[in-house]
Amino acid sequence: MQIFNWSYKDDTAKNNEVWHQNEGKFTLFEVFDHAYDAKTHNIDFLHIKRCQAEGCNISDFYPQFFDYCPSCGAGLLPVVPPSVQSWASPYGNPNGSRNLSALKWNLTTDELNKEKAFPLPKEGGNFTFLVTEGTKTLIAIDRAPRPEMRIFSYSIAMESWILHNESIPNFICPPWAWSAASGPDGFALPTKEGPCWISLSKSEGRFLHDLSIEKYKNCRSVGGATVCRDIALIPIESEEGLTLAWHACNTNTSWRIVSIVNKEAVEIKNGFLGAAIQDGVNNIFWIGERGYLSVHIEKEIPHAKWHRWKEGYEGCPQFMPYRDRHSVLWQLCFNKEEGYCFKQISHEGIYDRKIVDGPHFTIGNKSFCDDKIYEEPWSDESQDYYPEKEYFVQPLVELANGLLYIGVRNVNKILEYIDPKKTFKYSAELFIRKNEGGDVKVKDGFSITSPWDAEAFLFNEGLYLYLGNQNKSWVWPNIL
Ligand SMILES: [Zn+2]
């Protein structure tokens, strides 16, 4: 039997593959002069094709330059659809919004009944998910309490996880103080040894990381990562106190440091700031208990400032800010005499506050307190959202035709639910509340321990739910 070699190279160096042909069967052999290994390369990055005609093997793959199936002649289709609809971020888009009005749920009974288990990377872990910007690849970051983090990518073609890296220092912190952020051809994440940028080498199907803060040894990250105008930013604490590390994603330069205005007033009680939120006009905020850090990006350079809360007020960094109809951000704070209030935050400072009835979850432009929804957290015109049910509402993501939420039972106080030290399991159900009225049950019979226990994300036209306390995840394919 004769084996043919097919080499694909082009001048732009975008393709460099060698495939072997054994009669009608094609096998990828080499990628950029490295032997192809399904365990370390994600074949999805190569835009391979397959045949979906009846009678043909869907797990036979062909180079992207093939138009027709060598065995049946049908047109070949890309394994990864060119328009993958994806979204994965526990804290919403970079601007904190979990309202994706460009997308719609497909709520037919057929699609809802197609629920199946989605296998997680082997050996278990404590995962958080991310979808890369360019390649729309699903990334799982394992933050289980061990010295190193593990980074996996999911291959749609192989239906399997590929372990890329297990040498990134971990960062053990409360769940609200950690977030990764996707940028051009890579993503940023905080570690206990400082900020880390993971760049994606598409050609080789590999991830490379840059942990370079040579000048700032003994530093640790203290808040979530964000990417704004192709600049990755992560607050860090070094011998000089709180500073901000930033990295221009499109360059090979290492992380740089910005010093902070009002540095003398910085106080990070409990050691952490929250996840990052952007206001859409080049300002970024990290909330702490004693104050907040703001950054304004001007002419591709970040400028950072610390703002102290007024005496007697404490910020609640576990809660993301609420965004009003003018895109102004408001942060939940607590004061012994007044109770809870929202304080208007900006890069210039704090101007206004409004008292509210308790802690609110927000998804950007809506907020939720117990079983009520508010268009504005301080408005009296709230709706009784679940008057007849004993639910506490944890909103997840809203599409054009309905809100995905978890109905949590047997919980009276939001403070008890957000306390990561309490491990009580509440029984819970997953619903979509349709805009035209009525709930569609997506899943029941599971339990939840805190808001950070559940991650919902959209990937490859499907809805995914991950439950950390059970280390399980499910997918509803074709729900978008
Ligand atoms: Zn075929």
Q: Look up residue 56 and give its two tokens.
A: 């043909």
Q: Has residue 96 got a pLDDT over 80?
A: no
- The answer to whether residue 370 is domain-embedded is yes
Kindly report the number of other CB atoms within 10 A of residue 9's CB atom.
Answer: 12
Q: Same structural domain for residues 130 and 250?
A: yes
Q: How far is the CA of 75 from the centre of ligand 1 (A)?
A: 8
Q: How far is the CA of 57 from the centre of ligand 1 (A)?
A: 7
Q: How far is the CA of 17 from the centre of ligand 1 (A)?
A: 22
Q: How far is the CA of 476 from the centre of ligand 1 (A)?
A: 27
Q: Same structural domain for residues 114 and 22?
A: no
Q: How far is the CA of 44 from the centre of ligand 1 (A)?
A: 19
Q: What is the average pLDDT value for the chain, to the nearest integer? A: 87
Q: How far is the CA of 46 from the centre of ligand 1 (A)?
A: 20
Mean pLDDT, residues 105-123:
94
Total of domains in the chain: 2
Tell me if 157 sits within 8 A of 50, measured CB to CB.
yes
Q: How far is the CA of 62 from the centre of ligand 1 (A)?
A: 11
Quickly state the pLDDT bin for 217 (edges 50, 70, 90): low
Percent of the chain with pLDDT over 70: 91
Q: Same structural domain for residues 249 and 337?
A: yes
Identify the H or E element spanning 415: helix 414-418
- Rounded to 5°, the CA angle 461-161-200 comes to 85
What pLDDT sits at residue 5?
Answer: 73
- The answer to whether residue 94 is domain-embedded is no
What pLDDT sits at residue 62?
Answer: 92
What pLDDT sits at residue 338?
Answer: 93
Q: Same structural domain for residues 247 and 311?
A: yes
- The answer to whether residue 356 is domain-embedded is yes
Q: CA-to-CA distance for 308 and 245, rounded, in angstroms?
A: 21
Q: Same structural domain for residues 152 and 62?
A: no
Q: How far is the CA of 73 from the centre of ligand 1 (A)?
A: 6
Tell me if 181 sits within 8 A of 94, measured CB to CB.
yes
Quickly state the pLDDT bin for 308 (edges 50, 70, 90): very high
What pLDDT sits at residue 229?
Answer: 93
Q: How far is the CA of 98 from the centre of ligand 1 (A)?
A: 41
Burial class (CB in 10 A: 0-12, 13-18, 19+), 87: middle
Please give the backbone phi and psi of residue 183, each rounded to the nearest 5 degrees, phi first.
-140, -170
Mean pLDDT, residues 127-142:
88
Choose the final residue of a domain: 46, 78, 110: 78
Q: How far is the CA of 16 from the centre of ligand 1 (A)?
A: 25
Q: Same structural domain for residues 7 and 149?
A: no
Q: How far is the CA of 22 from the centre of ligand 1 (A)?
A: 16
The model's pLDDT over 343-370, given as tens digits with 9 standing for 90+, comes to 999 999 988 999 998 899 999 888 988 8
Q: Has residue 12 got a pLDDT over 70?
A: no
Mean pLDDT, residues 469-479:
93
What pLDDT sits at residue 373?
Answer: 86
Residues 6+ apart with CB under 8 A from 254: 210, 212, 213, 214, 247
Q: Which residue has the higher pLDDT, 24 or 278?
A: 278
Choose the final residue of a domain: 45, 78, 111: 78
Mean pLDDT, residues 178-200:
89
- The answer to whether residue 86 is domain-embedded is no
- The answer to whether residue 461 is domain-embedded is yes
Q: How far is the CA of 134 from the centre of ligand 1 (A)?
A: 29
Quickly state the pLDDT bin for 208 (edges 50, 70, 90): confident
Cα dihedral 239, 240, 246, 247 in deg (nearest 10): -50
Q: Same structural domain for residues 266 and 366?
A: yes
Q: CA-to-CA distance for 127 and 139, rounded, in angstroms?
A: 10
Among 181, 179, 214, residue whose Cα is nearest residue 198: 181
Q: How far is the CA of 372 from the centre of ligand 1 (A)?
A: 54
Can you give the CATH number for the domain in which 302 is found?
2.130.10.10
Q: Are strands 291-298 and 472-476 parallel, antiparallel or unpaired?
A: unpaired
Q: How far is the CA of 25 from the centre of ligand 1 (A)?
A: 11
Q: CA-to-CA distance for 398 and 400, rounded, in angstroms?
A: 7
Kindly report the number of other CB atoms within 10 A of residue 217's CB atom.
Answer: 10
Q: How far is the CA of 24 from the centre of ligand 1 (A)?
A: 10
What pLDDT sits at residue 203?
Answer: 61
Q: Has residue 156 got a pLDDT over 60?
A: yes
Q: Which residue has the higher pLDDT, 102 or 330?
A: 330
What pLDDT sits at residue 238?
Answer: 87
- The answer to whether residue 89 is domain-embedded is no
Q: How far is the CA of 60 from the centre of ligand 1 (A)?
A: 9
Q: How far is the CA of 69 from the centre of ligand 1 (A)?
A: 5
The model's pLDDT over 399-455, given as tens digits with 9 standing for 90+, comes to 999 999 999 987 777 788 888 778 789 999 999 999 998 899 999 999 999 999 999
Q: How far is the CA of 6 from the centre of ligand 1 (A)?
A: 19
Domain encompassing residue 38 = 3-78
Q: How far is the CA of 68 from the centre of ligand 1 (A)?
A: 8
- The answer to whether residue 432 is domain-embedded is yes
Q: How far is the CA of 58 from the centre of ligand 1 (A)?
A: 8
Cα dihedral 14, 151, 129, 190 in deg (nearest 10): -100
Q: Same structural domain for residues 57 and 141?
A: no
Q: Has residue 90 got a pLDDT over 70?
A: no
Q: Has residue 59 got a pLDDT over 70?
A: yes
Q: Has residue 30 got a pLDDT over 90?
A: no
Q: CA-to-CA distance for 459 and 138, rounded, in angstroms?
A: 7
Q: Same structural domain for residues 31 and 124?
A: no
Choose the final residue of a domain: 78, 112, 132: 78
Q: How far is the CA of 441 from the centre of ligand 1 (A)?
A: 39
Q: Same structural domain for residues 298 and 402?
A: yes
Q: Are strands 220-221 and 226-228 parallel, antiparallel or unpaired?
A: unpaired
Q: How far is the CA of 278 from the centre of ligand 1 (A)?
A: 48
Q: Same structural domain for residues 150 and 46?
A: no
Q: CA-to-CA distance for 286 and 220, rounded, in angstroms?
A: 16
What pLDDT sits at residue 365?
Answer: 85
What pLDDT sits at residue 109?
Answer: 94
Q: How far is the CA of 76 from the centre of ligand 1 (A)?
A: 7
Q: How far is the CA of 118 from the centre of ligand 1 (A)?
A: 27
Q: Has residue 138 got a pLDDT over 60?
A: yes
Q: CA-to-CA distance for 101 and 295, rounded, in angstroms?
A: 28
What is the longest distance spanned by two Cα atoms in the chain? 85
Q: Same structural domain for residues 47 and 150?
A: no
User: Among 65-74, 164-173, 201-210, whose mean pLDDT is lowest?
Assistant: 201-210
Q: Please report, as a single letter, which amino acid is at residue 148.
A: E
- The answer to whether residue 395 is domain-embedded is yes
Q: How far is the CA of 29 from the centre of ligand 1 (A)?
A: 21
Q: How far is the CA of 80 from the centre of ligand 1 (A)?
A: 17
Q: How far is the CA of 8 from the centre of ligand 1 (A)?
A: 22
Tell me if 344 sits within 8 A of 328, measured CB to CB.
yes
